[in-house]
Structure 1
């Protein structure tokens, strides 16, 4: 993993595709999966996305690593939709979300952060006439990408501390340490930016 993203070096054909092409394919596939509104299409897309990881030279453990942080949200969404709506819809929505997460993570894992930021800076370039600074857009995106491993690290540290204390059955006790860890990381990032004259 590099300094501010999830990029994993590799040489499969997906790595050689331009960042713009990957994003277009990602948006097209996710749009089709959502528009289809079919649980089997969504499940098939999620399974295909998961199987694409080893085909791209990525260890299957990355599939679990990408899905693990969103599993609690999927469980809540499934329970909420299943109890207030119907279970087939709950299964479809969760499969759609899982497919989108896995596909988006695959793009992130196979694209250098510098390529992604350069792409978004080019896309934001026309907005300079409206007072938008493309370099600031790239900075915001860089910080957003950086937050992904920060959140994962905070959750992992909180979970390890939770287990070390012998706590069981009260996962809500991990929430506050995660929030505190993220606030501290954000403060450190802000101080580093201020020290470099970035406002």
Structure 2
């Protein structure tokens, strides 16, 4: 995993689509899945998201890797809804979450950080009129999008260390290692940004 982002080089059909249409399609698809609010529609969206990966040249293991990170949250949703709701709601919510994460992950895997930054910068240029630095807004938005897979990576590393020490039955012990991993990633990201002159550019802009 790179310091910023999880872009996987390739020439698949999704790689060739610009960032703007991909994000718009993700927004519209996600909205449709949520608005439909039906368990069979959500399940169909999940199956379609799984089939999308090999169709666009992404290894299926990347889809299952995202689901492997997500399964504790899905399990919690299912258990809660079965206890206090019904199985229709449990299926709908868990399938919705899994489908949306898979679709967002596919966009992340096929979109370069530079392309994402350029898109967000163009979108935020009108904010110059009220004194907002569009470059800084673009950077914050891009890092926010890219930080989601980093959480999954931190969870996997913490879980592997948990299992390597022969621990079991105490999942709360993963919380601190995950936080430590995220802090390390944040520090590495900050150092990478400084090395690329981001901090100096911000100070120059403030001085002007």
Q: By the TM > 0.5 criterion, same fold?
A: yes
Are the equivalent residues in 2 in contact too, given 1:4–1:142 (CA < 8 A)?
no
Q: How does 1:42-191 map to 2 (within 5 A)?
A: 42-190=42-190
Are the equivalent residues in 2 in contact too, given 1:118–1:138 (CA < 8 A)?
yes
- Which ranges of structure 2 fall in alignment gaps of 5 or more residues? 204-208
Cα distance between partner residues in 2 of 1:28 and 1:192:
33
Name the structure 1 match of 2:30: 30
Deviations 1:70-93 (A, max 9, x none): 221111122222222222111101
Are the equivalent residues in 2 in contact too, given 1:8–1:110 (CA < 8 A)?
yes
Q: 1:139 to 1:34 in 2, by over 3 A?
A: same
Q: 1:154 to 1:29 in 2, by over 3 A?
A: closer
Cα distance between partner residues in 2 of 1:173 and 1:166:
13
Deviations 1:76-114 (A, max 9, x none): 122222222222111101111111111111111111111
Q: 1:194 to 1:8 in 2, by over 3 A?
A: closer
Structure 1 segments, 4+ long, off by >2 Å, are 141-157, 183-199
Q: 1:189 to 1:114 in 2, by over 3 A?
A: closer
Query: Which is further off, 173-182 or 150-159?
Result: 150-159
TM-score by length of 2: 0.85
State the shift of 1:157 in Å: 2.6
Q: Superposition RMSD on alpha carbons, in Å?
A: 2.1
TM-score by length of 1: 0.89
- Which ranges of structure 1 fall in alignment gaps of 5 or more residues? none
Cα distance between partner residues in 2 of 1:188 and 1:9:
22
Cα distance between partner residues in 2 of 1:20 and 1:185:
27
Corresponding pairs, count: 199
Cα distance between partner residues in 2 of 1:39 and 1:177:
35
DSSP-derived class of the 1:13 partner = coil
Are the equivalent residues in 2 in contact too, given 1:43–1:96 (CA < 8 A)?
yes
Q: 1:28 to 1:51 in 2, by over 3 A?
A: same
Cα distance between partner residues in 2 of 1:21 and 1:142:
16
